[in-house]
Amino acid sequence: MGSKPTPSPESSPTPGCVPALLVFTVVCLALSALLSWWFLAGLGLPVLCLYTWASKRRFVRRADRELRQQGFLGILVTSDSPNWRSYIEESWLPRMRGRFLVFNWSRHEQWPRSTPVLLFHRLVGTDRNYCPSIVLLRGTAAPLVFRFFYAFRNAKHGNSEALVSLERRLWEEMEKQLTEPGGQPPQVIVSGHEDG
């Protein structure tokens, strides 16, 4: 089986095309004021895009604030898969020290309709490489989304390089969040299976 590359953690939401849309909107407004109304029709899509981007950003900030008030740094979505269940339970959970809300995809029908669940659906989705995954909140910075499916699949076939690398980045980013003002200092946890 061919090895599929494991994606790096993605920072979401990004400004993307927002600056270009803002310029386009200003130009259309100026031209519509000078020429005719049909330039206003061209504003519909960019305005809708800007509104969607802004509402997603507001939602992520609200979710970050809500979860941090409860003492969480983010969410972990895992499942009962034998490919990673015991590894996550033995390696990750002790290191996370209860700082992540844990959801089991194998029982996703029972998940409550809540801010953390909506955050998972908006930032990670369920179309590809979504389980296991971690959303690490970073205050005013965009959250990082770590997707581990391909890393675990590659590790199952003897190539654990991507898994080790992704985990290392996760622990580094998690430690940054714990040492920022208002966070708790990180504890050093030594386990028999150190991957990061």
Residues 127-170 pLDDT 10s: 888 899 999 998 888 899 999 999 999 999 999 999 999 999 99
- Provide mean pLDDT across the span 6-35: 66
85 and 167 together in one domain: yes
113 and 146 together in one domain: yes
83 and 141 together in one domain: yes
Is 60 exceeded by the pLDDT of residue 192?
A: no
Residue 58, domain extent: 18-65
Element (H, E) at 140: none
> Environment class of residue 33 by beta-carbon count within 10 Å: exposed (0-12), middle (13-18) or buried (19+)?
exposed
Inter-CA distances, 150 with 50, 78, 126, 147, Å: 33, 14, 14, 8
> Could you give the number of structural domains in the chain?
2
89 and 113 together in one domain: yes
β-strands 74-78, 100-104: how paired?
parallel
